[in-house]
Amino acid sequence: MSLLETNNVMRQLRIEKVTVNCSVGESGAKLERAAKILESLTGQRPQTRKAKKTVKGFGIHKGEPIALRVTLRRQKAIEFLTKVLKAVNNTLKASSFDSNGNFSFGIKEHLDIPGTKYDPALGTIGMDVCVHISRPGLRVSLRRRAKSNVGKSHRITPEETMEYVKQVFNVKIAGEEYEA
């Protein structure tokens, strides 16, 4: 029986959220152009992220906005992930999956995403896409009141996530053996 066909609702996997990160490295016009591109791709206004410390070699100062982030949930997350996986030819590396069953991958240029058109005024940006997979019941470990641990048998393994992504998004996994 596959992960999608299980009768136990608490064992079914789901996409909790998709986070899109774009580090521009400097504030100003370049960051604003990247924000317009991210907003057009995701349909949400991105958050600006500030530098945590000063790096003189890169000309970055503490507190300066240098990056953008968008968090997508529910149906928007699934639609965006379907679109973005086509940019990487529906192929992920086995090393992209972590020990908790989440996975991440990068896109060198946003133009690789099908359906995006080049605008010379905006340029191109790259981005990182992080996908958080969970089961119902994860909230028990995250909530403030009556917090408790999630049992070992209820945690997600990388192999389960790989199987889920193969079935739902028709993704090929390169280097099938997972190394912890």
What pLDDT sits at residue 141? Answer: 77
Total number of domains in the chain: 1
Look at residue 178 and tell me whether its pLDDT is greater than 70: no
Residue 5 lies in a domain: no
Residue 58 lies in a domain: yes
Query: CATH number for the domain including 145?
Result: 3.30.1440.10
Residue 36 lies in a domain: yes
Q: Give this prediction's pTM.
A: 0.80
Residue 179 lies in a domain: no
Structure confidence by residue, pLDDT tens digits, 70-97: 999 989 999 998 888 888 888 888 888 8
Structure confidence by residue, pLDDT tens digits, 12-61: 888 889 999 888 877 788 888 888 888 888 888 998 888 888 888 877 78
Residue 119 lies in a domain: yes
What pLDDT sits at residue 130? Answer: 92
Residue 4 lies in a domain: no
Confidence tier at 176 by pLDDT (50, 70, 90): low
Radius of gyration of the chain, Cα coordinates, nearest whole angstrom: 18
Measured in degrees and rounded to the nearest 5, phi and psi for residue 37 equal: -65, -45
Q: Concatenated DSSP letters for 2-35?
A: -SSS-S-GGG--EEEEEEEEEE-SS-SHHHHHHH
Which amino acid is located at 100 in the chain? Answer: N
- Alpha-carbon span 177 to 173, nearest angstrom: 9
CA-closest candidate to residue 79, choices 134, 18, 34:
18
Residue 3 lies in a domain: no
What pLDDT sits at residue 72? Answer: 92
First-to-final CA distance of the chain: 26
Q: What is the H or E stretch that residue 178 is in? A: none
Token pair, residue 166, equals 């193969």
Structure confidence by residue, pLDDT tens digits, 121-164: 787 888 889 999 988 877 777 778 888 887 788 888 888 888 88
Which amino acid is located at 68 in the chain? Answer: L
Strand duo 127-134 + 103-107: pairing:
antiparallel
Token pair, residue 26, equals 């400097």
Residue 159 lies in a domain: yes
Range of the domain at 137: 12-174
Structure confidence by residue, pLDDT tens digits, 95-129: 888 888 899 998 888 877 888 888 887 878 888 89
